[in-house]
Homo-oligomer: A and B are copies of this chain.
């Protein structure tokens, strides 16, 4: 559309207007990384590729991924960062930018983020800001990343005063999830990832929830066919929400179910206590109990959510929180606007509702529900 010029008193205005179309595929592969090179070639043709990963993931999967990419004719620039949240800093992003500039990486070269949430967030942020954006391919290797963080275009690094405060919405060109990668996942991390699968069920897929409810032991055994089904359904829920609200202006807030308290707990513990998924389990269960008390959901729904989380050996309570510390954390939350939080309640298995709650009041209710 051409801009229009309109007179208006002493001034005039010209309009800029356009639509940007985003479209990408999330591929689930039953096996390892076969087919990754073809996927990269499909979305970002060229002779080079940048591989951002962490030391742990590199040990498990580095050579398989490199071999696959080299077989596809790519020269691979490997950038390996220390594992863990402390790598999500502006300083670390700076080192990666330096490496890309020095290697003369051009705009057409894809960056693959191979790993869990930390690598996806950091690699995604670097891809989004280097030369104003180069093609990003997410290759999540944890359950949490496969069903949640690798999809939806959120990238970020942490600030000394808060997590994920510096970042961008930047959609990947493709997501490649290998089921085989989940086999090497430590038990605690696998269980933590299940909290996001439970969340997906509560938000938008009652059948997913019921399948897990029917046989939690089979889920914990990681039976391949069941596992693939769970991952596929959970990420479909997220993909659906993100498709409708890429930049978190409305609907997307449903994904925040259980996360208000989860983020507060992580903050209070200095990100050295519960894993993210464990904090989400506590947040989900507390949101369910709070919603039951407020009449936003039934006792039965609340009970089923808590029971499923417990069947996965996940924590559902966090006694000893103070209202003050939770309130401080809520005030700093990105999603807090003015003095209120848009709280997501699990209205049913498969559906949510929104409720604006003043920060002070919400802090009190969450502390009580978590105790």
Contact = CB atoms under 8 A, between A and B. Distances in A.
Contact of A14 (B8, B17, B90, B232): B232
A45 B23 CA distance: 32
Interface stretch (A237-245, A299-307, A318-326): A237-245
B24 A22 contact: no
A25 B13 contact: yes
A16, A132, A133, A171 — which one has the most chain B CB atoms within 10 A of its CB? A16
Contacts of A90: 90, 94, 97
Interface stretch (A49-57, A206-214, A333-341): A333-341
B166 A129 contact: yes
A248 B244 CA distance: 25
A168 interface: yes
A239 B3 contact: yes
A128 interface: yes
A12 B24 contact: no
Interface string A21-38: 111111111110001000
Interface stretch (A100-108, A265-273, A284-292, A347-355): A100-108
Number of this chain's copies in the assembly equals 2
Contacts of A331: 104
Interface residues of A, number: 77
Contacts of A167: 129, 131-132
A30 to B, nearest CB: 4
Contact of A133 (B20, B35, B169): B169
A235 to B, nearest CB: 6
Q: Which 5 A-B pairs have the closest CB atoms?
A: A3-B239, A11-B29, A10-B30, A17-B23, A13-B25
